[in-house]
Amino acid sequence: MQMNFFTLNSKHKYSFLITIVFALGILFAIDFWIHFYIVHKTTSVQFIDNKESKFIHLALQEKNTPFDAIFIGSSYTKNHISTATFAKRGFHVYNLGISGRLLGDFPSMTLAANSQHPKFIILNISIDELFVPPSTKFVHLDDLGPLLASSTDLTTKAEHLWSFMLSLHSLHYYREAVFLQFRDVINRFTPKIKSPPMPTNLISKVNYSDQEQLGIDCDVFKTTIYEKMKVITCTNGDGAQLGYLDHQSPKKAVSFDARKVNQDAISLLNSIINSSKERSQIIVVLQPIWGRIVNVDFSELEAKINAPLLDLTSETFSDHDWCDEAHFNIFGRNLYSNLLADRLTPYLRHFP
């Protein structure tokens, strides 16, 4: 009986090990296929909205003229900054905005930007990011060291390390891009269902034909339609959103105490700035925020950051300039790009 039990138990263990090896093999194959797809889907005129793809896209850009500036940030940067606006002023720039990427992603993004030897790197952040610990769900190997070095407690270090371990699995790391690709494929084969007529009192709130007539200043390779907006992505790295916010701004006054900035966030930001100084000059931009009037001691905040700081949080834009509560539409994008060009021109023009 003991021998039979041992034999049965061994068979179970053997079957279990085969199952584990088979499952790991499938995951490895999926990871390999996703990475292969991401790399081969990226060219000099198209990319997928994640770090690796956009890094490749940047590296494939024309190198005859060095970049005056590379902009780093989230979808706020990708959909707000017009490369053409800077080109009209004689500046060659690249938009390295990637949706969902925050301060915790900036070490790898800055390293990718520095590989192209730009004169300036413009870090675009929301002021909120300076008052919370930096984090990212997409930890690149080049992000891990700076994130661990800037963290002041073991729990945060463990969270960064765990995020990095998860990011080694391509299906997890590229989940957003994979989801969007699958959704696009499904939408192509799903029969269109005609919606009932829209009430006339709502038509003006979701109509963006006037923005389409205005046109976009870059070549579009991808268009995604949502219920109340159209999102476009351009061959040069830019993006834009067409639509209108359907409610008014509360214009809420929000105060930040510059003495209470998060030390991890400041440490990471200054680490990025200091590591770049010998290659490119860094400028930090605080982005406009819809619905809030920001009060902060800017001079005290500036003293904590080892680079020029441009505060655009208090710049006034009308509700007409916003597509949603986070992003400008075409009109706001034009206004913001020109405003940012005005503020950056003294730096870009007088670079030795």
Q: Where are the domains of the chain?
A: 42-188+203-349
Residue 34: per-residue pLDDT: 62
Would you identify the CATH topology of the domain 42-188+203-349?
Rossmann fold (3.40.50)
The residue type at 233: T
Q: What is the chain's alpha carbon radius of gyration, rounded to the nearest angstrom? A: 23
The residue type at 293: I
Predicted structure pTM score:
0.83
6-13 LR contacts (CB < 8 Å, sep 24+): none
Contact call for residues 227 and 197 (beta carbons, < 8 A):
no
283 dihedral zone (left: phi>0; alpha: psi -120 to 50; beta): beta
As a whole number of angstroms, the distance between CA 86 and CA 94 comes to 10
pLDDT tens per residue, the chain (352 residues)?
A: 455 555 556 666 667 677 777 665 665 666 666 666 677 789 999 999 989 899 999 999 988 889 999 999 999 999 999 999 999 999 999 999 999 999 999 999 999 999 999 999 999 999 999 999 998 888 888 999 999 999 998 999 999 898 888 777 665 566 555 555 555 655 556 555 444 444 444 334 456 778 887 788 999 999 988 888 999 999 999 999 999 988 888 888 999 999 999 999 999 999 999 999 889 999 999 999 898 889 999 999 999 999 999 999 988 899 999 999 999 999 999 999 999 999 999 999 887 6
DSSP state of 191: P
DSSP state of 194: P
**What's the token pair of residue 347?**
């730096």
As a whole number of angstroms, the distance between CA 260 and CA 267 comes to 13
As a whole number of angstroms, the distance between CA 123 and CA 218 comes to 22
Residue 172: per-residue pLDDT: 57
Backbone torsions φ then ψ of 43, nearest 5 degrees? -135, -170
Contact call for residues 250 and 240 (beta carbons, < 8 A):
no
Beta strands in 74-118 (DSSP E): 93-97
349 Cβ contact partners less than 8 Å away, ≥ 6 residues apart:
none
Residue 176: per-residue pLDDT: 59
The residue type at 70: I
As a whole number of angstroms, the distance between CA 251 and CA 292 comes to 5
As a whole number of angstroms, the distance between CA 193 and CA 178 comes to 25
